[in-house]
Amino acid sequence: MERFSSSTERARRVGARAILVIACGLAAGCGRMYLDRRPEVRGGAVALPPVPAHAARTGSLWRDNVSANFLFTDVKARYPGDLITIVVSEDASGSKDAETSTKTKTSVSGSLTEFFGLPQQLQKHQPNINPAALIEADADREWDGQGATNRHGKLSALMSAQVTEVAANGNLWVEGEKIVSVNHEDQHLVIGGWVRPEDIDAQNQVLSSRVALGRIDYYGVGVVAMKQGPGWGYWLLDWVWPF
């Protein structure tokens, strides 16, 4: 009887340990789930990605809007809040020449020798009027214009952007800003546009030439940027000066 009691007690202990192990596993799984909910920063506020509808209905721990959960696919940006690396490599140049040359020569003459005697009456009062040459004019115009324009720009950078919107066809709207400050001089690099998922490589990178409706701004804010432009007095004088 005593042996039976000790066996029962041992079974209870084993069962309690098994329950404890299962509880720890579930807690770790839940913790892993919350860790996968990477926060999304918009306008200074932190917002978590929404839970899928089927997960909210069934209470499933699996979330299909987290790229890291897919073990057999490359970790690429797919959902709002995901990050993507943009390789900025822009090298654009343009040239245009124009040349115009026009020349016009015009000669006009008119006479009125007889018209009910009116030219003769007019000549009596104005002896300098010649009815045979009442109108005589010559015009000679010439125009020669030339113009040329050239522009060349090159920008290379590597920066990360965030997916803020996913279109119905799967295209991603990405936005990113990078600020580098040296001696109170800030260099801003801002980029935004649409990216196709097919253009994202295995390293989660996309070329800037593959960004549709893209806009890339690169500018400086600080003392150096201020010294690159003329003062306000020059702008005012240039605005009111007519010549």
Could you tell me if 211 and 185 lie in one domain?
Answer: yes
Could you tell me if 169 and 89 lie in one domain?
Answer: yes
Could you tell me if 59 and 89 lie in one domain?
Answer: no
Where in the sequence is the domain holding 172, given as residue range(s)?
A: 83-93+153-233
Could you tell me if 158 and 88 lie in one domain?
Answer: yes
pLDDT of residue 236: 84
pLDDT of residue 161: 95
Confidence of residue 19 (pLDDT cuts 50, 70, 90): low
Residue 46 has pLDDT above 60, yes or no: no
Model-level pTM?
0.53
173-228 pLDDT per residue, tens = 999 999 999 888 999 999 999 999 999 998 999 999 999 999 999 999 887 877 77
Highest mean pLDDT among 28-32, 36-40, 165-169: 165-169
Q: Tell me if 190 is assigned to some domain.
A: yes
Contact 216, 190 (CB under 8 A): yes
pLDDT of residue 22: 61
Q: Tell me if 183 is assigned to some domain.
A: yes
Q: Tell me if 114 is assigned to some domain.
A: yes
Could you tell me if 185 and 89 lie in one domain?
Answer: yes
Average pLDDT over residues 161-180: 94
Look at the chain and report how many structural domains it folds into: 3
Could you tell me if 102 and 165 lie in one domain?
Answer: no
Could you tell me if 158 and 221 lie in one domain?
Answer: yes
Token output for 212: 């549709």
Confidence of residue 237 (pLDDT cuts 50, 70, 90): confident
Could you tell me if 180 and 88 lie in one domain?
Answer: yes
Percentage of the chain lying above the pLDDT 90 cut: 29
Confidence of residue 139 (pLDDT cuts 50, 70, 90): confident
Average pLDDT over residues 30-41: 37
User: 131, 149, 167: which is the final residue of a domain?
Assistant: 149
Q: Tell me if 78 is assigned to some domain.
A: no
Contact 193, 173 (CB under 8 A): yes
Token output for 237: 């004088």
Residue 142 has pLDDT above 90, yes or no: no
Could you tell me if 17 and 121 lie in one domain?
Answer: no
Could you tell me if 159 and 203 lie in one domain?
Answer: yes
Average pLDDT over residues 17-21: 60
Q: Tell me if 60 is assigned to some domain.
A: yes
Burial 3-32 (b: 16+ CB within 10 A, else e): eeeeeeeeeeeeeeeeeeeeeeeeeeeeee
Could you tell me if 228 and 206 lie in one domain?
Answer: yes
Average pLDDT over residues 112-116: 72
Order of strands, edge to edge, in the sheet holding 83-110? 205-207, 83-110, 135-166, 172-182, 185-195, 212-221
